Amino acid sequence: MPELPEVETTCRGIAPHVVGRRVRAAVLRRPDLRWPIPREIGEELPGQRIDAVRRRAKYLLLDARSGSVIVHLGMSGNLRVLAHDAPVRAHDHADLVLDDGHLLRLHDPRRFGALLWQPAGTLHPLLAGLGPEPLSDDFNADWLARAAAGRSAPVKHFLMDQHIVVGVGNIYAAEALFRAGIHPGRAAGRIALARWERLALAVKDILARAIARGGTTLRDFLAPDGAPGYFEQELSVYGRAGQPCKACGGTLRAADWGQRATVYCPRCQR
């Protein structure tokens, strides 16, 4: 699944081609993805200008006067800016035709993504109750310590809770916990403030580096220009069960916490 760096890469990639352009038409080749596609996208959006493209958690928002298109890439989706006559492939489910002869195309083979509408001045239920952005000042050790007080859930599960912090999925949670030296199965309520400091800094640094490298290519992800992400080359633990730890040389182990497979180093992570 595209995680925060992949979604941020998409946001930055499409913004220069989309912001300021008017939508001539919305071509919807099916009525639904994960949920039904609201009629407003086909009826209200055409004729309006895209004023901004932004990311909230793993959602992309294309802001126009009367509302925002919300896009979620699901397990395998991507958004590409293409020429208006680009051939339609299987799983090309929606196009926003722009006034400069290009189009923004949503491709989603598994249809776990979403194309939704948020009327101006409202907050879509999917965006309500989300935690702070991990690269913002609101995400810090004090916030984590307060939120974790009394919790027995494994810290990896806690870190992937979108009410605690948005956009930190399986890959980057595993990598950040390794960087901070914290065992993924440790109870969130039993972590000292100094260790939360290390973890918050690790999350910020790893996500920033992943964004700079275009995200992580794991099976399906491609950036809007078709280029793969390169952060996969820097992964320390994710997907490396049974291989040597890059820090101590010990064997990395795999376990299951919070119903997600986790790879960790039993020597480096306590």
Q: Can 184 be counted among the known catalytic residues?
A: no
The residues, ordered by sequence, that sit 6+ positions from 119 with a Cβ below 8 Å of its Cβ are: 40, 66, 67
The fold of 141-264 is Helicase, Ruva Protein; domain 3 (1.10.8)
**What residues form the annotated binding site for DNA?**
91, 110, 151
Q: Which of 3, 6, 8, 175 is catalytic?
A: 3
Sheet (strand 92-98) strand order? 23-28, 92-98, 102-107, 78-83
**Total-model pTM:** 0.88
Q: Can 224 be counted among the known catalytic residues?
A: no
Q: Which of 5, 44, 56, 58 is catalytic?
A: 58
Cα end-to-end span (Å), the chain:
28
Q: What residue spans define the domains of the chain?
A: 4-127, 141-264
**What residues form the annotated binding site?**
91, 110, 151
Question: How many other CB atoms are there within 10 angstroms of residue 227's CB atom?
Answer: 12
Q: Can 2 be counted among the known catalytic residues?
A: yes
- 191, 181 contact by CB (below 8 A): no
Query: In tens digits, what is the pLDDT along the chain, a chain of 270 residues?
Result: 678 888 998 998 899 999 999 999 999 999 999 999 999 999 999 999 999 999 999 999 999 999 999 999 998 899 999 999 999 999 999 999 999 999 999 999 999 999 999 999 999 999 999 999 999 999 999 999 999 999 999 999 999 999 999 999 888 999 999 999 999 999 999 999 999 999 999 999 999 988 887 644 433 334 465 554 434 557 899 999 999 999 999 999 999 875 778 999 999 999
The fold of 4-127 is N-terminal domain of MutM-like DNA repair proteins (3.20.190)
Q: Which of 21, 24, 246, 260 is catalytic?
A: 260
Q: Can 195 be counted among the known catalytic residues?
A: no
- Strands, E, within 64-113: which ranges? 67-72, 78-83, 92-98, 102-107
Q: What residue spans of 106-255 are helical by DSSP H?
A: 141-148, 155-159, 170-180, 193-212
